[in-house]
Amino acid sequence: MELLLFDHEDDTKPARAIPLDARRHRTYHYWHVFVPGLGPGQLYGFRAVGPFKPEKGLRFDGNKVLLDPYGLAVAIGSRDAAMKSIVADPGSYDWEGDAPLKRPFVETVIYELHVRGFTRHPSSGIDAAKAGTYAGLVGKIPYLRDLGITAVELMPVFQFDGAGTPGGRANYWGYNPVSFFAPHRQYSSRQDRLGPMDEFRDMVKALHRAGIEVILDVVYNHTAEGDHLGPTFCFRGLENSAYYLLAPDHARYANYTGTGNTLNANHPVVRRMILESLRHWVIHMHVDGFRFDLASVLARDETGSPIPNPPIILDIESDPMLAGTKIIAEAWDAAGLYQVGSFVGDSWQEWNGQFRDDVRRFLKGDRGTVSKMAMRLLGSPDIYGHEEREPEQSVNFVACHDGFTLNDLVSYNRKHNEENGEANRDGANENLGWNCGVEGPTDDPAIEQLRARQIRNFLAATLLSLGTPMLLMGDEVRRTQRGNNNAYCQDNEISWLDWNLMRDHADLHRFVKMLLDFRSRRDVAIQNEAFTLNRLLKQAHVRWHGVALDSPDWSEDSHSIAATVRSLRGRFSVHAMLNAYWEPLTFQLPAAGAAGRKWLRWIDTSLPAPDDIRAWESAPAVLEAAYTVAPRSMAFLVCQLV
């Protein structure tokens, strides 16, 4: 082993090479050396000389400059120069009293966004030097706060390899990490050596001042080193068989991620690195939580078999330095391990993929979906009720970065990924989308009205269901990716948020804002008491109906459902009517409550703005004993009881 010191990012040869002696510079599995005089900003790397015997899992290459697996910053030089780690002092930043917010999940509304795509479009109004950066995001904090967002979930911001996609396109999404500690340099407007680290922390501090938490989408399941033909940046050149799950022949890699390799997350050395990485982002970078990409990979042992009690998963949730941190699992992987509702641990929230699929099927008009839709509205007790957990365990969403945007979900029947350069083979084939009659954009006003109505339906279902809601960047203003459901390589207007949509779809933006305003004023009993999902449902007194009171139709051919729900402290009742049928349906209404009380029409997704959603104070009374819900629409009536 050698420690290599460099003077410049573009240097291909070190200014100084310090040989390491295992008798003096190695303890157990860890190499270490003290070099007097080094300070923040120093460029460095390692060289590991050893046998190259892939059949034995050994891939040493003495010609490679290797990144420090624990390096806090990464320097990117010219094409011919290797990446280099940068010495950093993580405690030198002035946080001015800032700390993670620890907002309860019951108050949380997540907004998934891409740091670059959020402000890169020329219409963002962000200065060109800061567009697409951490600093650019700071400029849009007033927008997020006004909308009602309480947490941003940032797509990967670990330093990643932006190359290597088919056709030489950029790896825009960033699920290709080369470091688990360093913020992505290309997202910073500051390009001095430690500038990205400080600019990221400036962003976190500014978001916290606005009451908005920062959740990172983290990738601890694979690295950018890829398969057996991939590049060597760090891990495979240091201890290939420890960092990765190897195939039986040891020359290739187990691939449970679809990316060529799989991190050996339950190996003691790798477990320690993952924990140290998480601690670094919480302690030194003040992030509030993590969403774990393909989290089920973390539940596999060295043979790839699922483990009943995976050490790394239990380490994460029981680590005292991570106490109070939000941890969210994407509870599946690319090799078929699906653990929604059965992910190990007592404090993990889960992306509820069944919420996404069942809501899509119901609103599309598929058969046999009514009972599943009812469960999704109530926090999915059929999935989570056995765990006696809080309703917010379920992270509810109908669109995320992976798949159609909400606009495209109602505009396309099939994916259109030709521009990705893979002959439209990439991306999911089954999207449960419905184009409402025409594939892609249309000038037909009837189809446009139907699409707008369906979008309001999806948003109402997501934001009014029990659970933690998550919105995809731009869905509140109908951002489109032109039917591309896998825009991982599209660093262009396909992926960027066009802020002109704020003007074009101001009515939808208002609809979302008012829904989020309601969530922020929910019955205070939920906020002040620890309710399990089962206890909450018992005390809410849910009454199910069909078009006739107390006669729900759970049959395969049913496309409608209604429910009356009383708030926990009896302050108001809501009567919800969901009609996914292609004809209008008239629903009988229950009594509103005590004498003189009336139902008020709060939401009707079939109506144009501003009647699609009204403030309770200005909502019109419903005087009839029945209410007709238009085709493919939802209506919500409210009665304030005190």
* Residue 496: HSE in the Cβ half-sphere, 13 Å Cα cutoff: 16
Q: Which residues pair with 417 in a beta bridge?
A: none
- What single string gives the DSSP state of each residue in 35-60? -TT--TT-EEEEE----EEGGGTEE-
- Residue 470's nearest CA partner among 528, 406, 408 is 406
- What's the DSSP call for residue 619? P
**For this structure, is 330 an active site residue?**
yes
Terminal CA-to-CA distance of the chain, rounded, Å? 73
In sequence order, what are the residues at sequence separation of 6 or more whose Cβ sits closer than 8 angstroms to the Cβ of residue 10?
Answer: 77, 78, 80, 81
Q: How distant, in Å, are the alpha carbons of 13, 148, 151, 206, 419 from that of 141?
A: 43, 11, 11, 8, 32
Q: Which of 293, 475, 476, 604 is catalytic?
A: 293
- Among the options 330, 390, 392, 419, which is catalytic? 330
Residue keyed to tokens 């009602």: 148
Token readout for 617 is 């104070």
CA distances (Å), origin 87, targets 15, 43, 74, 147, 275: 16, 7, 9, 39, 20
- Buried residues in 332-365 as b, exposed as e (16+ CB within 10 A): bbbbebebbbebbbeebbbbbbbbbbbbbbbbbe
C-alpha span between 599 and 621 (Å, rounded): 6
Sign of the Cα pseudo-torsion (604, 608, 612, 618, in order)? negative
For the chain, give me the number of helices (H) and strands (E)?
17, 25
Rounded distance between C-alpha atoms, residue 586 and residue 106, angstroms = 34
The answer to whether the CB of 322 falls within 8 A of the CB of 284 is no
Q: In angstroms, what CA-CA distances link 68 with 29, 87, 205, 575?
A: 14, 10, 27, 58
Q: Is 388 a catalytic residue?
A: no
Distance CA 175, CA 170 (A): 12
Helix (H, G, I), strand (E, B) or coil at 551: coil
Catalytic residue IDs: 293, 330
